[in-house]
Structure 1
Amino acid sequence: MQKSFEDYKNSVPKPLFTSGLGITRAWGFFDQILTKHFWLLSDHIEKAMYGIRKKQSKYRDVINQDVIILDDIFSQLLVMNAHEDGIIDDCLMTYVKGDIPKMGKCWNGAKVLYFMHNLYDILDTNVIEKERGKHWVSMKVDLITAELVVFYCNLKFIGKVKLDRFMEPVQKMIPLILQKSGYFGYLDPSPWPYRRPINHPHNEKS
């Protein structure tokens, strides 16, 4: 099976990938994920999230339309804006309107937001360089229950104290953005709580 996969991988042309920000580049996805000690990068996350948005748009009768799928740039903007005294810049509100990312949707009427958040991307200046950008979590923003849900496969690697610190920018910015949008009526701008389920697949290594 491995030989068949290698033959297929070597026979097909490397596709071009246009990200949600309109950047086109060569995509050696299979080559990269087969590399020893490989780590997912922003481009891989964006490719996956864009694929979900594309299917959501194509299969409207099958996939829920009240779910918003964002990109990892959104989470980076959350962190940067949180460090600027909670100022919400125009780019964040462009997400709310659905103008970005590519094939994005307006948040009006949405029930859930999903995005990937890199814990060690730009938040912690004390992180050693070899660890930076290697720890992704899946984020669910439940707009009905007003809570954040964090899915992370390694329960031991990030303890509660550390995760509390990582989550502060997201907890702070989400209610502020929703309040500014005007789509959700009156909202308490206080930080939202988060929880991390433990009854999902996980591993012992990061």
Structure 2
Amino acid sequence: MPSYKLTYFPVKALGEPIRFLFTYGGTEFIDNRFNEEDWPKIKPTTPFGQVPMLEVDGKKVAQSTAISRYLAKQYGLAGKDDWEALEIDSTVDTIHDLRANIAAYQYENNETAKEEKLKRAKEIVPYYLERLDAQVGKNGGYFVGGALSWADFVFVGVLDYLNYMMKENIIEKYDNLKQLKQKVEEIPAIKSWIEKRPPSDL
């Protein structure tokens, strides 16, 4: 069994889907959370100056989506054939597009530009959520193939981060997405993880 160490900020955000996957798979991993002030020391030790970073038997790899896909394949959460794998990939990329649109507003320091980006986010977020909600409705309560996949973990894992950035519960009006969140959070392994993980807003 390889040894796994996940290095990330002390928040859920992009690290949480990976933590969900490890937990679901019943795989031991070191959940290495560092404080903001230690980032300048850690950054040069990462492959491309970014986290999450996963170490597998000491070998380092970056990119949260690639890490999640790698684990999902091991736990049978990457679709039952190439077409489903493609649909899952496409959904995950869409979720990250949604995140990028919200983050563009959240991390903008120029006030005028920030207002513009907030206006854009307020238009684009419902546009994405309506479609994602309909997708879950058509697929038996999951994003793809009527079954749990890593796309579901990505969405539910980053949701607190999206809500934090938008300062609201963005899925309030979307029943299929609300039910998906509940389903994922009620998986026994995930439920026990949520109860014991360190608290954070995002």
Using structure 1 for the length normalisation, give the TM-score: 0.30
Structure (1/2) with the larger helix percentage? 2
Give the number of the structure with larger relative contact order, counting CA–CA contacts within 8 Å between residues 6 or more apart: 2
Using structure 2 for the length normalisation, give the TM-score: 0.30
Q: Which has the larger radius of gyration?
A: 1
Structure (1/2) with the larger strand percentage? 1
